[in-house]
Amino acid sequence: MRHAVVATLDVFDWFVLGYFLILNVGYLLLFSIAAVDFTRYFRRTAVSGHERIFSSPLTPGVSIIVPAFNEQRSIVQSVHSMLALRYPDLEVVVVDDGSNDDTFEVLRSEFGLQPSARAVPRKVPNIGPIRSVWVTPDEVLVVVRKENARRRSDACNAGINAARKPLVCMVDADSMLDSEALLRVVKPFVDDPRRVVGSGGVVRVGNGAQIDHRGRIVGLTMPRSWLARIQVVEYLRSFLLGRTGWSRINGLLIISGAFGVFRRDVVLEVGGLDLESVGEDCELVTRIHRVMRRERRAYRIAFVAEPVCWTEVPFRLGDLASQRTRWSRGLAQVLRKHRSMIGNPRYGRIGLLTMPYYLAFELFGAVIELVGVIAVLSGLALGVVNVPFAILFAFTALALGLVLSIGATAIEEFSFHRYQRWRDLGLMLAAAIVENVGYRQLHAWWRCCGLWQELRGGRAGWDTLHRGGFEHTSM
């Protein structure tokens, strides 16, 4: 029996070693591609043409869709930031998805909303019936009140139906945009209007941000919570490195639901957001890939590293667990629904590279990581683990993780310099180290829970997370 266990552990050790090498080589390749792309991007910044986009009568209008459920603490600040965006033609469509707090009342009081007879055609499916539509006198702000359907995708679809501009930008209600974020994220549509069907921007952690009365970020410090600090590093690594790299090789699978722009006609063509998916942002992008590849249409889905959407991240462990479990379940749903694309040359890089990567390393990576921890502990208990090798392996894994996190921090500092204090940079580096002790293992567990929930089936609703709200200043 002992011999069989030892043989099994030995085989598994070699499997984990090979898996680890492939995974980290992939990370380093994405890191290198992203670094080169950043260099090229900032060389072009001086001649980027954002002022031309702002002044051109041909710049496409944008409807900002804001699904909101119990967001009374942050919704007014978020809407102010969107209305203050530098963009020549926009409307903001807030969809109050049956909130049972004062989300609508604070909006009506702050913006002077009036009832409207504006019709909302049902061009893409939505479940919750529309109760009423409210607008400001100039109709730049539209608030759609509907019955709650416990689905963010249902609220987004209602907003898409109500939108009147050729581009739709979906933004979370707890988020705020930099003043020129929309100009920058729309630029790919202006540069290549025939091919670009979607564009995503960077989402950054806004906990610790200070805003003025117009909803603009006027100061940024690292959050007080270590849980939020670790997420600062996570978001930097994911958006500045991961998605920039995937976009560069035309293999982008995810545009964050917190900040993404799409051609409305394409969204209508593919049927809007999937009402049954909890990963509706990833599912929409994957479905667009599927339709465009199947019909052999020239298209591109872009990612722009400079536009910034600031969002509140969970600062309570239970809320974070719920969010990450839902994200993992959403990825499992997408890969399961579109499994015929995986490994299929008909879908190009998406089918042959991106989706196999997400299946092997994003979905099942957490399972392999947890099983690996159990195998190491079992080997130590049986005295069959090469302790020096195990220590060297763990140290190497930690070092590579730190290289990626520190690389993301360095790119942020040299490119955007959002954090002004040396203390904040020190906290970011400390969070990159702390992330690997306890948090990473918890995160793997939550991802496994999401996979298990999807395997078991059942319906998931719209999570209600605790919000602290952005810090208001009189500046």
| 299 phi, psi to nearest 5 deg | -155, 165
Which residues, at least 6 apart from 358, have a Cβ–Cβ distance to it below 8 Å? 253, 331, 335
Q: Are 145 and 134 in contact (CB under 8 A)?
A: yes
Q: Which residues pair with 259 in a beta bridge?
A: 171
Name, of 198-202, 380-384, 398-402, 463-467, the range with top average pLDDT.
198-202
- Give the other-Cβ count within 10 Å of 223's Cβ: 23
What pLDDT was estimated at residue 385? 65
Which residues, at least 6 apart from 208, have a Cβ–Cβ distance to it below 8 Å? 220, 221, 222, 223, 224, 228, 471
Higher local confidence (pLDDT), 399 or 90: 90
Q: Are 263 and 291 in contact (CB under 8 A)?
A: no
Higher local confidence (pLDDT), 129 or 402: 129
What pLDDT was estimated at residue 384? 67
The percent of residues above 70 in pLDDT, for the chain, comes to 85
What pLDDT was estimated at residue 333? 94
Helix (H) or strand (E) holding 135: strand 130-135
What pLDDT was estimated at residue 474? 47
pLDDT tens readout for residues 28-45: 787 777 777 766 666 665
| 306 phi, psi to nearest 5 deg | -85, -40
Q: Are 124 and 76 in contact (CB under 8 A)?
A: no
CA-CA distance, 44 to 36, in Å (whole number)? 13
The tokens for 438 are 């306890």
Which residues, at least 6 apart from 436, have a Cβ–Cβ distance to it below 8 Å? 398, 401, 402
Which residues, at least 6 apart from 283, have a Cβ–Cβ distance to it below 8 Å? 273, 274, 277, 330, 333, 334, 337
DSSP code of residue 195: T
Burial of 421 (0-12, 13-18, 19+ CB in 10 A): exposed
Q: Mean pLDDT of all residues in the chain?
A: 85
Expressed in angstroms, the distance from the first to the final Cα of the chain is 71
pLDDT tens readout for residues 192-232: 999 999 999 888 888 888 877 666 777 788 998 999 999 99
What pLDDT was estimated at residue 230? 93
What pLDDT was estimated at residue 125? 93
Q: Which residues pair with 236 in a beta bridge?
A: none
C-alpha distances (whole Å) from 12 to each of 2, 18, 365, 390 are: 15, 10, 14, 13
Tell me which CATH code domain 1-475 carries: 3.90.550.10
User: Whole-prediction pTM value?
Assistant: 0.89
CA-CA distance, 314 to 14, in Å (whole number)? 37
Q: Are 210 and 329 in contact (CB under 8 A)?
A: no
C-alpha distances (whole Å) from 126 to each of 98, 172, 364 are: 14, 18, 32
CA-CA distance, 72 to 106, in Å (whole number)? 7
CA-CA distance, 228 to 205, in Å (whole number)? 8
The tokens for 391 are 């220590």
